[in-house]
A and B are shown apart, each in its own frame.
Chain A
Amino acid sequence: MHEHKGMISIWFFIGVLLLAYGVLIFAAGVYDVFQPPAKRVVLSQLHAGVWWGLLLLAMGLFYSIRFRPKKTQGN
């Protein structure tokens, strides 16, 4: 993406953050499935947290792997 030599791509950083968010939001969504909160959001039966968490997880994995730092000579 960028010609600064050896620089990690911004998409890798994005991937790592989305991966972490995916894990957190998916876990929170699954927890809500089994332990529904007293005050539920509208359409909570869709379990948006689970699906969105999975989406973030998939995007995070893709970006983290696709743009992972490459080993360069001398490193």
Chain B
Amino acid sequence: MTEALVPSPQPSAAAIENPGALLSWESRSRRVVTVYLPLACFLFILLFPFYWMGITAFKPNNEMYDYDRYNPFWIHSPTLQNISKLLFETSYPRWIMTTMGVAIGATVLSLVSSVLAAYAIQRLRFRGSAYVGLAIYLAYLVPPSILFIPLATMVYQLGLFDSPLALVLTYPTFLIPFCTWLLIGYFKSIPYELEECALIDGATRLQILRRITLPLAVPGLISAGIFAFTLSWNEFIYALAFISSSENKTVPVAILTELVQGDVYQWGSLMAGSLLGSLPVAIFYSFFVDYYVSSLTGAVKE
């Protein structure tokens, strides 16, 4: 029943649920073995690394490396030492702020460009608009792993090396194609008649975009926005290649390059760093679960 709540570009598609429920005359015990048991295994395996990350972050060192005397699956004397060390002895707060700034900047830039591009492709309908749409879609198939070396030379020549601005400008290369494609799908679901009415009433194109199309596309905008934010937060290879000074690093890069020193790994603070670095995205996610699902499935369906 939850499907009905999910805003989808194609509402009819998600309306049908549970073909299995209508025709299963299986016994209850059989269902437990074929459905609930595998599902429980899946959930356990998918969640265990998070549990392990969380539990390690709050363990004192003597417990962490002594499995004989302490059960590793539980914390006997939880401590905030790892987290306080991370917050007060490293520049972790600074890294979080940098990541946040880069993610917000890249998201806003991509969202504005994508809204305009999607509106032009889907609503202004010029000759060859389908090809422009296809070209933007193909851009999504170019992976960052191919682009980072030439981009690094470009960034260096533009004088943006070691500056978060380089990340704000390069992240849209993978955000714009995705957001544009998602928004084209949303614009398609808005009846064209509404815009025609506004045109007849004497509204300009910009007024139509601002007063009619955008308010109706708000769920699509939220989907695209949170997705772009998550992708920017997770990005790694550009941040690794373009940033060298410690204080400008983003969280994923900083944890891997600044916290891992020498041969003895500080697993406690590494896990605490990973946990704190995942939290903003996870909190964001918990508020917008349905939008994530709809943007994921909407983008795939298009």
A and B co-occur in one complex: no
Q: A residues touching B (Cβ–Cβ < 8 Å)?
A: none
Q: B residues touching A (Cβ–Cβ < 8 Å)?
A: none
